């Protein structure tokens, strides 16, 4: 993972691209293509329509065919330039093309810079749900240039910060204090602070993931806030953006942990305060349909033995474990709805 303001302008000189024996292709969406037309001049660009609804198998077919038409062979390198949709989709194209070619992630959204570009999960959505077809195919290199965030719409910018808050909450109390101290400058997109935040946030994710690449044990702590978040997203027909749902989910799950006596008192208030300063919502939408919320909660894909489970905080930086050493604890639907406030 290379992190630094200005790195995107030097992409052609960076080792994975400068030293490749094969052809290089950029895959990007049409927003990022028009915001950053001059990166990697002379390298063929495959542009797809922006948005989660294009993270699909038809997009994968089209991009794969275009690469093959252009003569891509197993030495090809795919550069994914964009947000999490682009890194997931282009990473999946790279994972399957000729049984796997090298790819480089150049994240352009906060969410991708602080989270999605690292971890190796790539894939597409289906009519049955998000991310249901995919692979584990880590990028060869991740190039993080916070200067690319300049053109990101404000709501998207703030949304991605929720995942960094989550990383600090589950694993790094020092990063949490750093965020409390620097929140105001972070939302101004100070490139040096964003570089430090990306470095620390990705390091947490990389460390947790490298211990547990296929998500059987500790990696589940990265789902903190997400049990409630996924149910909120489904109950609002995905109108609530993912990062905003995660922000609310972190607060609600911290409240559950506190009410159970699992988390230190004051934990939920601290979570809500930091997220609020970062411009993220911390209360559930007023019009939330609670019956749909409960139905969605009970369908969460992380559920085992038909119980809803979540990684709960014991304190800032520490996840609670049950008597068997498990990283998630069962939740009762009634305590979740009670904690919605
Ligand atoms: N693989 C993983 O581990 C992982 C982790 C978290 C999320 N994700 C995935 O990430 C996706 C969400 O990512 P996202 O929020 O980045 O969505 P996104 O890629 O759709 O980007 C959000 C919007 O911002 C635009 N955009 C991105 N960067 C820009 C820039 N610099 N300037 C102008 N516009 C820009 C995009 O075109 C898009 O319209 C979801 O599909 C989610 O499943 C994957
Ligand atoms: Zn998430």
pLDDT of residue 238: 78
For residue 88 and ligand 1, the question of a CB distance below 6 A is answered with yes
pLDDT of residue 300: 63
- What are all long-range contacts of 215-223, with beta carbons under 8 Å and residues at least 24 apart? 217/327, 218/327, 220/302, 220/311, 220/327, 220/328, 221/170, 221/171, 221/311, 221/319, 221/327, 222/166, 222/167, 222/170, 222/311, 223/302, 223/310, 223/311, 223/328
Q: What is the CA radius of gyration of the chain?
A: 20
Structure tokens at 253: 């799950």
Q: What is the pLDDT of residues 228-257, one digit of tens each?
A: 999 999 999 878 999 999 999 999 999 999
Task: For residue 226, report the distance from its CA to the centre of ligand 2, in Å.
Answer: 7
DSSP 155: H
Exposed / middle / buried, residue 184 (Cβ in 10 Å: 0-12, 13-18, 19+):
exposed
The residues that bridge with 144 in the sheet, in sequence order, are 3
Residues 221 and 310: their CA atoms lie apart, in Å, by: 8
Q: What is the pLDDT of residues 89-135, one digit of tens each?
A: 999 999 999 999 999 999 999 999 999 999 999 999 999 888 999 99
CA dihedral (256, 262, 266, 269) positive or negative: negative
pLDDT of residue 217: 82
* Residues of the chain predicted below pLDDT 50: none
pLDDT of residue 211: 84
For residue 95 and ligand 1, the question of a CB distance below 6 A is answered with no
Catalytic residues: 99, 121, 163, 205, 215, 219, 223, 226, 230, 242
Task: For residue 183, report the distance from its CA to the centre of ligand 2, in Å.
Answer: 20
pLDDT of residue 213: 60
């Amino acid at each position: 993972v290379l992190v630094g303001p200005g790195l995107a302008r030097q992409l052609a000189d960076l080792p994975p691209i400068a030293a490749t024996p094969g052809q290089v292709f950029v895959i990007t969406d049409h927003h990022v293509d028009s915001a950053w037309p001059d990166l990697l001049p002379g390298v063929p660009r495959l542009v797809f329509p922006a948005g989660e609804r294009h993270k699909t198998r038809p997009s994968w077919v089209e991009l794969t065919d275009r690469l093959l038409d252009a003569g891509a062979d197993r030495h090809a390198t795919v550069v994914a330039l964009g947000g999490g949709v682009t890194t997931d989709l282009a990473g999946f194209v790279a994972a399957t093309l000729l049984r796997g070619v090298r790819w480089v992630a150049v994240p352009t959204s906060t969410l991708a810079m602080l989270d999605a570009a690292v971890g190796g999960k790539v894939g597409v959505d289906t009519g049955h749900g998000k991310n249901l077809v995919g692979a584990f195919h880590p990028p060869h290199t991740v190039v993080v240039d916070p200067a690319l965030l300049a053109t990101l719409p404000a709501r998207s910018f703030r949304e991605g910060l929720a995942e960094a808050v989550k990383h600090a909450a589950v694993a790094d109390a020092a990063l949490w204090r750093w965020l409390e101290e620097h929140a105001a400058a972070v939302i101004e997109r100070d490139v040096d602070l964003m570089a430090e935040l990306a470095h620390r946030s990705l390091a947490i994710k990389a460390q947790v993931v490298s211990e547990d690449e296929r998500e059987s044990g500790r990696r589940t702590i990265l789902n903190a806030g997400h049990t409630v978040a996924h149910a909120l997203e489904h109950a609002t027909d995905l109108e609530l953006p993912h990062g905003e749902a995660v922000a609310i989910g972190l607060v609600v799950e911290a409240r559950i942990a506190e009410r159970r006596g699992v988390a230190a008192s004051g934990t939920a208030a601290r979570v809500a305060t930091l997220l609020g300063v970062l411009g993220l919502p911390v209360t559930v939408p007023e019009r939330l349909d609670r019956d749909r919320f409960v139905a969605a909660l009970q369908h969460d894909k992380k559920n085992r033995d038909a119980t809803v489970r979540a990684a709960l905080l014991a304190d800032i930086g520490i996840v609670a474990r049950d008597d068997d050493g498990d990283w998630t604890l069962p939740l009762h639907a009634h305590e979740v709805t009670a904690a919605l406030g």
